[in-house]
């Protein structure tokens, strides 16, 4: 991260146990939203992760297609090479934020999980696979895997990944689910993927429950 790039910030929640954080869950919103969009998931996840701290940072750029919200990278040019360039620029900013938050809570990468939606999922996957040490898990909703062409030469970490996608998604094509899962598996990343029947571009209750159970297993905590 350069001096011109601001450190990310956003709403936080927990730990509900009121003790020191044992896990850190970072929630990454989609394009045009902000950190408030996903922090509402934290109380639900905290029911099974009472010792986790949750933070949902605003993406680093103002959304360039509306007068409100943030973006991890622009979508004005949607050619694959432009999207790859955009997420490559966003990754160091997210990396620096994750490192700072882990240091603040005195946790290591094994206590970190990324839970992300749409463009946040694209950014989470790209960044997590290239961090020097694997995080505990990545849970991605309604997203896609960018940078596939260079993944084999750039991958450094293989955290367990859960992908969930509505089969009626009008924003990010449902086919992105199978494409991402296949590419991750081909690169040795343990991956589970689930389709949500009838769901559009969003997160539903069953999908959230799948994510919660995945985090319980990834963190090695006992289910309540």
Q: What domains sit in the chain, N to C, each tagged with a CATH number?
A: 14-218 (3.40.50.1820)
User: What's the mean pLDDT when you consider all of the chain?
Assistant: 95
pLDDT in tens, 18-33: 999 999 999 999 999 9
pLDDT in tens, 83-136: 999 999 999 999 999 999 999 999 999 999 999 999 999 999 999 999 999 999
Residue 5, pLDDT above cutoff 70? no
pLDDT, residue 4, reads 47
Q: Place 6 in a pLDDT band, splitting at 50, 70 and 90.
A: low
**Alpha carbon separation from 117 to 104, 105, 120, 153, 172 (Å, rounded):** 25, 24, 5, 26, 11
pLDDT, residue 66, reads 86
The DSSP symbol for 144 reads: -
The two three-digit tokens of residue 205, written as one number: 């209750």
Q: Place 1 in a pLDDT band, splitting at 50, 70 and 90.
A: very low
- Let me know: does 77 contact 116? Beta carbons within 8 Å: no
Residue 224, pLDDT above cutoff 80? no
15 preceded by a cis bond (ω within 30 of 0):
yes
67 or 140, which is more confident: 140
pLDDT, residue 109, reads 98
Distance (Å, rounded) from C-alpha 215 to C-alpha 224?
Answer: 13
pLDDT in tens, 45-82: 999 999 999 999 999 999 998 888 999 999 888 888 89
- Report the catalytic residues: 118, 169, 201
Distance (Å, rounded) from C-alpha 77 to C-alpha 144?
Answer: 16
**Average pLDDT, integer, range 138-165:** 97
Percent of the chain at pLDDT > 70 equals 96
Percent of the chain at pLDDT > 90 equals 90
**Average pLDDT, integer, range 137-154:** 96
């Amino acid at each position: 991260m350069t001096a011109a790039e601001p450190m990310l910030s956003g709403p936080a929640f927990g730990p509900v146990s009121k003790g020191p954080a044992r896990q850190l869950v970072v929630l990454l919103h989609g394009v045009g939203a902000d950190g408030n969009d996903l922090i509402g998931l934290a109380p639900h996840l905290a029911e099974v992760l009472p010792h986790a701290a949750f933070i949902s940072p605003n993406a680093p750029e103002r959304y360039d297609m509306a007068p409100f919200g943030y973006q991890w990278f622009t979508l004005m040019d949607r050619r694959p090479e432009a999207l790859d360039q955009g997420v490559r620029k966003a990754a160091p900013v997210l990396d620096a934020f994750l490192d700072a938050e882990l240091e603040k809570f005195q946790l290591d990468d094994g206590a970190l999980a990324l839970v992300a939606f749409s463009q946040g999922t694209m950014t989470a996957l790209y960044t997590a696979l290239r961090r020097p040490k694997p995080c505990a898990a990545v849970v991605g909703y309604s997203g896609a895997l960018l940078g596939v062409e260079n993944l084999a030469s750039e991958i450094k970490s293989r955290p367990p990944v859960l992908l969930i996608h509505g089969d009626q998604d009008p924003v990010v094509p449902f086919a992105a689910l199978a494409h991402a899962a296949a590419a991750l598996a081909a690169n040795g990343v343990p991956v589970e993927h689930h389709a949500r029947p009838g769901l559009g571009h969003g997160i539903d209750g069953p999908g959230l429950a799948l994510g919660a159970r995945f985090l319980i297993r990834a963190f090695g905590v006992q289910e309540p």
